[in-house]
Amino acid sequence: MIAGKQVLTHAEWHTRLQQFFSPLAAKVRIYCVPDNFTRYIETDLQPSFKPAQTVQHRLSADELISYTSLVHTLESAEEDFGGREDEPISATPLPPKMEPGLWSASFKGGKQAGSFIHNLLEHMMEDPGFYLNSLDPQSPWEQTCAHWGYAQDSAYLRAWLQKCLNQRLPIIQESLGQVAPFATEMPFNFTTQISVPALDQWCKNHIWPEHSRNTLPSRQIRGMLKGVIDLVFTSANQYWVLDYKSNFLGHDEADYDFNSLQQTVLQHRYELQISLYMLALHRLLKLRLGEHYQPIRQLGGAILYFLRGVDAPSCGVIQVPLNIASLEQLDQLLGKSI
């Protein structure tokens, strides 16, 4: 507009711009950039990346290890695990549908039901519009519920899970609807070889050491440790991991107080599960942020969210106590590659 397709010198640009802005001479001043001024020059250079590592060892099915495979022989574990294979089916009969307050306890448990809830929450965190217009049979919400076989439960499921996302959680003083999701359903894996008793002892030494818990089966693991983190989010400039639990713990608010939640965590060894998730996040941040990573300042914590307790004073959430020193010990424990 000012120079057309002409190539102008600095002095010519200065003259042209002065002429162009002359009506605003009292408000606009034109300066020439000194010759020694640092300028951005675009180049074709690309960052140099190290070549990807290749896997020299072919893993068998026995060498793919998850939290579930670590605990599946515990006496307290059920033959069929609940949601996402980490939530046992409760033998307690569930009540019929009730008015808000305890109706979240009425949704039946089981592996499929838990996986379905996780699927809904994943969509809700990624796209708040997913659960809007849910009365429309063609809406994503209704179609998802119908696909999983829960079309008749769609209305109260929407109300319950909306409350779970809108509830202000006491640990972070924000709701999940307010935080910034970093990743949903984030998979991780790393190779390791370790004795399970050593891993078990680490848990007993660092997480609620004053409380007893079931002992993990004695075995050696050598292979790929894998998992999927339900939610990684940021709050107050810190990174947090959160795992949803759909376990039914009882009909009363007291069934979801700190002591009850802690007992459930230790009974099913969820403290090990969330510790592995926290380590995966710790390793990821070290890799992504490099020398800028300050774990004491940037690493928040690990939360288990028992969704059926959203109406209780605890909101169904409990933080598993993990500090940087204990995480580093776990990192060294699992750090030996195969």
Residue 242, domain CATH: 3.90.320.10
Tokens standing for residue 159: 């109300």
Residue 298 lies in a domain: yes
Task: Average the pLDDT over 265-273 and give the result.
Answer: 94
Q: Does position 329 have pLDDT exceeding 90, yes or no?
A: yes
Check whether residue 208 and residue 284 sit in a common domain. Answer: yes
Residues 17, 53: Cα–Cα separation, whole Å: 54
Please write down the long-range contacts of 97-102, taking CB distance under 8 Å and 24 or more positions apart: 97/156, 100/159, 100/311, 101/311, 102/251, 102/311
| pLDDT of amino acid 222 | 80
Nearest of 81, 80, 122, 130 to residue 229 by alpha carbon: 122
Residues 246, 309: Cα–Cα separation, whole Å: 9
Residues 69, 92: Cα–Cα separation, whole Å: 25
Residues 158, 116: Cα–Cα separation, whole Å: 12
Check whether residue 31 and residue 74 sit in a common domain. Answer: no
| pLDDT of amino acid 224 | 80
Nearest of 178, 172, 212, 205 to residue 275 by alpha carbon: 205
Residues 151, 133: Cα–Cα separation, whole Å: 15
| pLDDT of amino acid 82 | 36
> Which is the catalytic residue, given 86, 153, 243, 311?
243
Check whether residue 241 and residue 194 sit in a common domain. Answer: yes
* Cβ contacts of 183 within 8 Å, gap of 6 or more: 229, 231, 232
Q: Does position 75 have pLDDT exceeding 60, yes or no?
A: no
Q: Convert 68-97 to b/e letters by CB count within 10 Å (16 or more is b).
A: ebbbeebeebeeebbbbebbbbbeeeeeee
Residues 263, 266: Cα–Cα separation, whole Å: 5
Residues 322, 313: Cα–Cα separation, whole Å: 23
Check whether residue 11 and residue 75 sit in a common domain. Answer: no
Task: Average the pLDDT over 93-121 and give the result.
Answer: 65
Structural domain containing residue 19 = 1-41
Task: Average the pLDDT over 230-240 and give the result.
Answer: 92
| pLDDT of amino acid 64 | 66
Task: Average the pLDDT over 142-171 and give the result.
Answer: 89
Residues 269, 124: Cα–Cα separation, whole Å: 28
- Look up 243 and say whether it is catalytic: yes
Q: Does position 78 have pLDDT exceeding 80, yes or no?
A: no
Q: Does position 221 have pLDDT exceeding 90, yes or no?
A: no
Q: What is the mean pLDDT of the chain?
A: 78
Handedness of CA 237, 239, 245, 246 (dihedral sign): positive
Check whether residue 226 and residue 307 sit in a common domain. Answer: yes
Residue 311 lies in a domain: yes
| pLDDT of amino acid 217 | 84
| pLDDT of amino acid 62 | 53
Residue 108 lies in a domain: no
Check whether residue 93 and residue 2 sit in a common domain. Answer: no
- Band of the pLDDT at 240, cuts 50, 70, 90? very high
Task: Average the pLDDT over 196-217 and give the result.
Answer: 92
Check whether residue 181 and residue 37 sit in a common domain. Answer: no
Q: Give the predicted TM-score (pTM) of the model.
A: 0.75
Residue 149 lies in a domain: no
Number of domains the chain is built from: 2
Check whether residue 32 and residue 178 sit in a common domain. Answer: no
| pLDDT of amino acid 73 | 57
